[in-house]
Structure 1
Amino acid sequence: MKKTLLAFVAALLLAAPLSAGQLQAAERFITVASTTSTKNSGLLDFLLPKFQAESGIEVRVVAVGTGKALQQARDGDADVLLVHAKGREEQFVAEGYGVERFDVMYNDFVIVGPQSDPAGVAGLSDAQAALTRIAEAEATFASRGDDSGTHTKERNLWKAAGVDIQSASGGWYRETGSGMGATLNTGIGMDAYVLTDRATWIAFENKGGHEVLVEGDPQLFNQYGVILVNPDKHPHVKTELGQSFIDWLTGETGQALIAEYRLNGQQLFFPNARKGQS
């Protein structure tokens, strides 16, 4: 009888609703729409546990291409954006979907390709010249084709080089519609050239016979920005928690940790918050 009574009391306690304090603790999380590069490089896995330990705020990341991340934020499915297509980020803010944009960090893009280098681009530091050679040689090029920040950069470079990639689509120009890792795998399988952010390339393990062939062009600069989604558009946005994350990421602690993060002895991202903010 005594055991039955104890079991009954225990069941009641388990079924009891959460207290206000417990509910508040359970809701201390934010959703961040970010790029595949911040996830695939291991940076967020390095940063976020440290932020949570310090703040008590859990960060749930949805890692997709920048275009999809921007759309998720427009739809109110994220509290914070962490992406890398500055012009599109500024448009997002101008349209009222974001409160303010802040620079966070940067690295660069590179063009990788097979050691055989059929277009003869190895050693070039002019991305437009390299793409022109690839087009003239009709050498296979694998594009993400997914409206990501990397895809946006690539399209701008082709346009600047005066190459009509639409007419080449399905021929030497192949669009995967996939993230960076999947596109690299496809490109390596086809002995194709690929534009990738350097952080993902460093972290990528299946390099095969591919290597960095084109780098060092200022046009390959890759800036990341962070934006709080505007609560005027979406009242459910966790403004205070989201701003706490932004302040931490762009503050001394977050910036120092970004600089500290390395893979295979190489620094993947370079902090530059509070510089030239829009």
Structure 2
Amino acid sequence: MKTRALIAALALALSTAPALAETVRMAVTTSFENSGLADVLLPEIQEELGIEVELLVVGTGQALRLGEAGDVDAVLVHSRPAEEAFVAAGHATHWREIMYNDFVLVGPSGDPADVASAETAAGALAQIAEVDAAFVSRGDNSGTHQKELALWAGAGVDPETLGGSYNAVGAGMGAALNTASGLNAYILSDRATWLTFGNKGDLALLFSGDPEMFNPYSLLPVNPERHPHVNNDAVMELEAWLVGPRGEELINAYTVLDETLFVHSAVPQ
């Protein structure tokens, strides 16, 4: 009788225990993490979907390598050429744009290269090179680093020829901004990280608005045919939530210092 009672009690406990949350491991860029948006989205995702999202915060290049190896279920990055190549190689089922912000050029408030007068981002970098002003690069193959290199190419400048004035730190956006603040140097940053960055020192936002500095973020589900262990069903639920009305509401409402950091840009399918 005692055994039966114990079994019945265990069955009752199991039937009334809360269901364990699904888990999605997602590699995300440092700029997404630095913005603080994850602190808004992740609790809502867990409450509404029962999905716990574990973030691996790295640069875009490393995020895609984690996806290629099947070490995560999805990646959220911001480098469209790299995303398209990732899908074309079969590592992801597709890419889905979720939101965008933009890149900005930050530098000494005195602006020795007069980048504030430039008409394009490439022109601003050309002026920085011309006066041999200090510049800090993330140098980490992130989406921001790739955009920076594309802008240097547009300026007709190889940054490797800039010598000691070009400082590649091989670190995330926050660490790179700290270096730029310490050196009073120019740097390319995403707007969200710049707005939330606390150690601005004498740095100021000097140039923005060039269409070449548009910065879309996309979700890429890792291909379950390559890696059957990935939690593709939960990733699909997560994607539908992010592109839907609740994701749109929270992303568009998120502000820092009364400035909107991201614009929801997903197109329903």
TM-score w.r.t. structure 1 length?
0.89
Query: RMSD over aligned Cα, in angstroms?
Result: 2.1
Q: 1:268 aligns with which of 246, 261, 264?
A: 261
Aligned equivalent of 2:54: 60
Q: Is the CA contact (8 Å cut-off) linking 1:124 and 1:213 kept in structure 2?
A: no
What residue is the counterpart of 1:101 in the other structure? 95
Q: State how far apart, in whole Å, the 2-side matches of 1:21 and 1:134 are.
A: 65
Q: Distance in 2 between matches of 1:214 and 1:205?
A: 19
Q: 1:129 aligns with which of 116, 123, 126?
A: 123
Distance in 1, matches of 2:52 and 2:190, equals 27
User: 8 Å contact 1:124–1:215 — kept in the other structure?
Assistant: no
State the shift of 1:263 in Å: 1.1
Aligned residue for 1:251?
244
Structure 1 gaps, min length 5: 1-8
Task: Identify the match of residue 206 of structure 2 among 205, 208, 213.
Answer: 213
Task: Compute the displacement of 1:19 (Å).
Answer: 6.2
Residue among 230, 241, 244 paired with 2:234: 241
Q: Deviations over 1:73-106 (max 9, x none)?
A: 1011111111100110011011000011111111
**Cα separation, 2, equivalents of 1:147 and 1:25:** 40
Q: Tell me how far 1:125 sits from its aligned partner.
A: 4.1
Aligned-partner Cα distance in 2 for 1:87–1:19? 48
Closer/same/farther in 2, CA of residues 94 and 212 from structure 1, 3 Å limit? same
* Residue 110 (structure 2) aligns with: 116
Instruction: Judge conservation of contact 2:21–2:50 (CA < 8 Å) in 1.
Output: no
SS in 2 for 1:108: strand
Residue 38 of structure 1: how far off its partner (Å): 1.1
Q: How far did residue 124 of structure 1 move?
A: 2.9
Equivalences, count: 260
**2:168 corresponding residue in structure 1:** 175
Contact residue 93 and residue 220 of structure 2 kept, 8 A:
yes
Q: Cα deviation per residue 1:132-181 (whole Å; 9 max; x = unaligned)?
A: 01001110000000000000000000011110112225x11110000000
CA distance in 1, matches of 2:38, 2:141: 22
SS in 1 for 2:116: coil
1:188 paired residue among 181, 191, 209: 181
Q: Is the 8 A contact 1:125 1:214 kept in 2?
A: no
- Separation in structure 2 between the aligned mates of residue 19 and residue 230 of structure 1, nearest angstrom: 34
Counterpart position of 1:3: none
Secondary structure at the aligned position of 1:98 is classed as coil
Deviates more, 1:194-203 or 1:244-253: 244-253
**How many angstroms does 1:117 deviate by?**
1.3
Cα distance between partner residues in 2 of 1:60 and 1:21: 26
Query: Cα offset for 1:49?
Result: 0.4
Deviates more, 1:24-33 or 1:202-211: 24-33
The DSSP-based 3-state class of the residue aligned with 2:174 is helix
Identical counterparts, % of pairs: 47
Shift of 1:26: 3.8
CA distance in 2, matches of 1:208, 1:219: 27
Given that residues 142 and 193 in structure 1 are in contact (C-alpha distance below 8 angstroms), is that contact kept between their aligned partners in structure 2? yes
When normalised by structure 2's length, the TM-score is 0.92
Equivalent residue of 1:100, what SS? coil
- Secondary structure, in 3 states, of the residue corresponding to 2:115? coil
Amino acid aligned to 1:63: V
Counterpart contact for 1:141–1:173, Cα < 8 Å: yes
What is the DSSP-based 3-state SS (H/G/I as helix, E as strand, rest coil) of the residue aligned with 2:84?
Answer: helix
Corresponding residue for 2:132? 138
Show the counterpart of 1:70.
64
